Amino acid sequence: MLQMNSENLWKVNTTAAQQNLTTEMTVNKSKVNETAAQQNPATDMTMNKWKVNETVAQQNPSTNMTTNKTKINETAAQQNLPTNMTTNKWNVNETAVQQNPSTNMTMNKWKVNETAAQQNPTTHMTMNKWKVNETAAQQNPTTHMTMNKWKVNETAVQQNPTTNMTMNKWKVNETAAQQNPTTHMTMDKWKVNETAAQQNPTTHMTMDKWKVNETAAQQNPTTHMTMSSGRLMRQQPNKTQQHI
């Protein structure tokens, strides 16, 4: 049987499976065997100078969580979820769907779960340090609009068009056909909708900062022609009667 030197100056044999497990653990100058699955999990966890085995699924989950110098197992689904949430130095498991959504939201140092649709939308909106869920259609549109630090949902059709228009820091919805055309025209910082055929042609023509609609056949031809900065229509009326 292999004996250990009292001065701890010997290298542990690669095939030291026959050695005393307890002694192997207490020698702090020897490399732990790669396949040390036979060692005592509890002892392995309490030593803060050893690398945790890759397959330490047998260890005590509670102990694993309380050691702040140990890497959490990749498949730590067996660990205690409440304890996992209260430790502010651990990375939340990728599949932490089982955690308490309310607690997850109130901790400002945790990354919100990707599928946090179960969380409380109201609380999610009032926290200015969280990324709004991609599918936040359940949130309150009014509150979403009044917060100037949030990205407007892509499908914000449910929001109030009037409020959306009066805020000069929000991107107008692509399908804003429901908005008030008159208000849309008087704001010089908004892009005119591509299909703005419902707008008032006269007002559209007198604004020198707007792009004339491509299909402006509904507009007044005479006014269109007298604007030096406007685009001439291809189909001009009474072309033969104009002076050359």
**39-67 tens-digit pLDDT:** 444 444 443 333 444 333 334 444 443 33
Out of 28, 51, 74, a domain closes at 51
Q: Is residue 204 part of a domain?
A: yes
pTM over 0.85: no
Q: Is residue 126 part of a domain?
A: no
Provide the domain count of the chain.
Answer: 2
Looking at residue 15, what is its pLDDT? 42
Q: How far apart are CA 242 and CA 36, in angstroms?
A: 97
Q: Is residue 188 part of a domain?
A: no
Q: Is residue 137 part of a domain?
A: no
Q: Is residue 207 part of a domain?
A: yes
Domain that holds residue 203: 195-232
Q: Measuring CA to CA, how many Å separate 208 from each of 133, 186, 189, 204?
A: 40, 12, 13, 9
Query: Phi/psi class of residue 222: alpha, beta or left (left: φ > 0; alpha: ψ in -120 to 50)?
Result: alpha
Q: Is residue 7 part of a domain?
A: yes
Looking at residue 133, what is its pLDDT? 39
Looking at residue 89, what is its pLDDT? 35
Q: Is residue 11 part of a domain?
A: yes
Looking at residue 198, what is its pLDDT? 39
Looking at residue 230, what is its pLDDT? 41
- Residue ranges of the chain with pLDDT lower than 50? 1-242, 244
- Asked if 103 contacts 94 with a C-beta cutoff of 8 angstroms, the reply is no
Q: How far apart are CA 101 and CA 226, in angstroms?
A: 63
Q: How far apart are CA 87 and CA 70, in angstroms?
A: 13
Q: Is residue 226 part of a domain?
A: yes
Out of 51, 71, 90, a domain closes at 51
